[in-house]
Amino acid sequence: MTTTEKQISGPKTAPPQIWTFTTYFCEGLPYSIIRTVSTVFFRDNGVSLEGIGLTSLFGLPWALKFFWAPHLDRYGSKRQWLLIMQIFLAGLLLIAAALAPLPQATPLIGAAFLIGSFLAATHDIAIDGYYLETLDTRDQARFVGYRVMAYRIAMMAGAGIIATIGVTMGWPAAFGGSAIILALFSAYHLRYLPRGEAAHLPLFMLLATEKWGRLLKFPIIAALAMVTLLLLARTITKQDLLSRVGFLADIDPIALISMLLVIGLIIVGFKRKKIKKWLRQQGNAFFSEAFFSFMDREKIGPILAFILLIRTGEYLLSSMVAPFMVDLGIKKHYGWISGGIGLPFSIIGAMLGGWLISKYSFKKMIWPFLFAQNFTNLAYMFLALKLNDFVLLNTGNPTPVAIGGINLFAVACIHAFDQFAGGLGTAALMIFLMRLCQPRFKAAHYAIGTGLMSFSGLYAGVASGFLAAWAGYGYFFGISFLLSLPGMILIFYIPLKECQQKEALQ
């Protein structure tokens, strides 16, 4: 019996196509508002660029979320967690709408969004865990395209519609409208979201223990530490004490935290037996099991290397595509190329990728999908080399020379292929991370996997500008393809057979 048949036999609930879309839309909308729309709000209210830089703090919970993800696996159900977080987020946005007209709006809403970022990160953990708990492995692959589509639409709705409402009709309307949308979705989910999870400890048991106090202390201490480090870094930069290594000031501090966490996880991997024993002595058996069960598996070395390296080429490419378009002289066309062509092709790629994996198996599809994703770098290399004369003419030119209709069509086609292949790759990598999750710790393991996979964005983002300036766009895109090869080679060394056995058991 499939997941869908199980749901039909019980009380009337939403089919997976619907609730997958609605839950991941609700995941993407708060993230977009807190990480993107907030910068528009603060700038619209006269906050300095230095002050807006502090909004990078809002990304802190997504870098640290796997620290409290085990609590969502142990207490309550993912359905309960996502409903509670949605209600809290809707309430917080209503508070932001009420605060927006006040003279003290910017610091108050800044504090509210910092709290909201922890709620939103917890909301993400709950939704990802719910998806893994409710669907079997076949349906996880089948509906992954709906996840990508809903999330991207939510991001566009936030950065486009909500931000536009804010600067035209006022921020109370923007934040209040967002709150109403989340509240309506939470009411829908309360009634129609399936109840398909195994029993856990009651949620009130977490509130009744000292662990709840520890859970609150951690984000507070982390946030205060980040504020201190950011302010200190900016002070040092102004004193020109970092003039020789000034690029360090441009590195996202959240990415630096992610890097430290990756290093810490590697150290834990080598010392896991001693640390696991110590944690058990401290009475944190379940918490330690959540982390060490991720590390105690066959071929953990190649698995970690694959997670850390597989998106290197993708991140290098994506970080330089927009500057390449600007220097090519087509920045006025980038909006419709990205939104009108890129978005639908990425959704089609993700939906097709999920369907093909569910039909032909993950093992057969992962290599061609990831090769297609990274072959895009070569396509951009040939494009950049062909149009290099226009890049030289239009870089820094206030009145750029037109590249011609045929060349513009070629750019649009390659960008469409880029987004389509990226959708295929995203589907494969999401499913790979899902397959790593053990039944007891699905939320925690998925949070660890996504956190590690985003780490390559740090070194790719730092290196991309230097490499592009040194080699030029054409050769840079070729180098980015070469740097994607180690991750693709590791496909042959990670235990994909284990994934096939899990699929066969369904």
What's the rounded mean pLDDT across residues 16-41? Answer: 93
Q: Which of 373, 390, 383, 391 is nearest to 414 (CA)?
A: 383
Is a pLDDT exceeding 90 seen at residue 451?
no
> Taking the mean position of all CA atoms in its chain, how far away is CA 156?
15
Confidence label for 388 from pLDDT (cuts 50, 70 and 90): very high
Other beta carbons within 10 angstroms of residue 469's beta carbon come to 10
Is a pLDDT exceeding 80 seen at residue 315?
yes
Question: Residue 481 has what pLDDT?
Answer: 95
Is a pLDDT exceeding 60 seen at residue 158?
yes
Is a pLDDT exceeding 70 seen at residue 264?
no
Do residues 154 and 43 touch, judged by C-beta distance below 8 A?
Answer: no
Question: Residue 94 has what pLDDT?
Answer: 96
Confidence label for 244 from pLDDT (cuts 50, 70 and 90): very low
Do residues 115 and 324 touch, judged by C-beta distance below 8 A?
Answer: no
Over pLDDT 90: what percentage of the chain? 35
* φ, ψ (nearest 5 deg) of residue 136: -80, 175
Is a pLDDT exceeding 80 seen at residue 455?
no
> Taking the mean position of all CA atoms in its chain, how far away is CA 28?
9
Compute the residue count for the chain.
506
Side-chain-side CA neighbours of 280 within 13 Å: the count stands at: 9
Query: What tokens does 347 get?
Result: 């959704």
What's the rounded mean pLDDT across residues 358-376? Answer: 91
Round the CA-based radius of gyration of the chain to a whole number and report it.
Answer: 23
Question: Residue 108 has what pLDDT?
Answer: 92
* φ, ψ (nearest 5 deg) of residue 284: -115, 50
* φ, ψ (nearest 5 deg) of residue 400: -65, 150
Is a pLDDT exceeding 60 seen at residue 283?
no
Side-chain-side CA neighbours of 221 within 13 Å: the count stands at: 6
Q: Which residue has the higher pLDDT, 64 or 317?
A: 317
Over pLDDT 70: what percentage of the chain? 78
Q: Which residue has the higher pLDDT, 228 or 472?
A: 472
Question: Residue 477 has what pLDDT?
Answer: 94
Classify burial at 349, counting beta carbons within 10 Å of its beta carbon; exposed 0-12, middle 13-18, buried 19 or more: buried
* Terminal Cα distance for the chain, rounded: 9
Residue-wise DSSP of 226-292: HHHHHHHHHHHHHTTTTGGGGGGGGS-HHHHHHHHHHHHHHHHHHTHHHHHHHHHHTT-HHHHHHHH
Q: Which residue has the higher pLDDT, 64 or 328?
A: 328
pTM for the full model?
Answer: 0.80
Question: Residue 218 has what pLDDT?
Answer: 57
pLDDT for 147-156, tens place per residue?
988 998 998 8
Is a pLDDT exceeding 50 seen at residue 1?
no
Q: Which domains does the chain have, with CATH numbers?
A: 3-202 (1.20.1250.20), 301-505 (1.20.1250.20)
Do residues 427 and 349 touch, judged by C-beta distance below 8 A?
Answer: yes
